[in-house]
Amino acid sequence: MLEIEALPFFTFILVTTFTPGPNNISSATMGLNLGYRKSLPYLLGILFGVAAVTFSCGLLFGSLVNVIPVLAQWLRWFGAVYILWLAWGTLRATWPVEGIEAASTRMGFTRGVFLQLLNPKLFVFAISLFATFLQPLAGKPLPLLLAVLLLGVIDFTSISLWTLCGAALSKHLGDIKVRKAVNACLSLLLVYTAVAILQI
């Protein structure tokens, strides 16, 4: 039976999924320039790529843990360190992220998938997820597929919201005091998550 600490688990999922990253920022840029409907193929590409990478990491993690059982504990510590690093980065982040070039042409499904192969945040997220919360599912295709489908729904919700509301987010989070307050709250949630997973 899979036992999950619900609050740390969903805090980790929601904060890492909804905060700025390559997928969210590029989706917001697409929405700002092209609108939601024309951005949809790109969003579906992101969804497919995220699902494929997460599923593959889950299968690989299961194989590694079966061969080297102590690896699970080491990866749990690695996951906690990564989450703390993410908390520090979130605290110091500029929001909206600077240096994002406006999309001048429509990006489609293939580019959405390809972005995931170059997205280090996704790989570390997936490995951390299975090392800290979903270890019993690793290496088990059917339960793993169900978990990936649930995560896909959450991820698609995130990139859709960023696409639909990118302009509004940029406007309301332009004030430096608001931006710092939001970043501080998100950082504290991530620190709590890092501490909680070490006690699982």
Each residue's pLDDT tens digit, 50-70: 999 899 888 887 666 555 566
76, 130 Cβ separation under 8 angstroms: no
Q: What is the pLDDT of residue 12?
A: 84
Q: Which of 5, 16, 1, 8 is nearest to 151 (CA)?
A: 16
In Å, what is the CA distance from 174 to each residue of 57, 61, 97, 131, 179? 36, 40, 11, 36, 7
> What does the pLDDT average to over 168-196?
70
pTM metric for this prediction? 0.68
Going by pLDDT thresholds of 50, 70 and 90, the confidence category of residue 149 is: very high
| pLDDT tens profile 78-122 | 767 877 876 787 677 654 444 434 443 446 898 888 878 877 678
Domain contains 175? yes
Domain contains 122? yes
- Which residue, chain included where needed, has tokens 């800290």? 132
Domain contains 73? yes
Domain contains 35? yes
> Could you tell me the residue range of the domain that residue 85 belongs to?
6-197
Q: Which residues contact 97 (CB under 8 A, 6 or more apart)?
A: 20, 25
Residue 184 pLDDT > 50, yes or no? yes
Going by pLDDT thresholds of 50, 70 and 90, the confidence category of residue 43 is: very high
17, 155 Cβ separation under 8 angstroms: yes
Residue 49 pLDDT > 90, yes or no? yes
Domain contains 21? yes
Q: Before 96, cis peptide (omega within 30)?
A: yes
Residue 134 pLDDT > 70, yes or no? yes
Beta strands in 62-168 (DSSP E): none
CA angle 139, 65, 53 (to 5 degrees): 50
Domain contains 165? yes
183, 91 Cβ separation under 8 angstroms: yes
CA 49, CA 106: separation in Å to the nearest integer? Answer: 18
CA of residue 32 relative to chain centroid, distance: 21
Q: What is the largest CA-CA distance in the chain?
A: 51
Per the structure, the count of domains in the chain is 1
Domain contains 98? yes
What six digits make up the tokens of 4? 């999950």
In Å, what is the CA distance from 31 to each residue of 26, 102, 128, 164? 9, 10, 30, 6
Domain contains 1? no
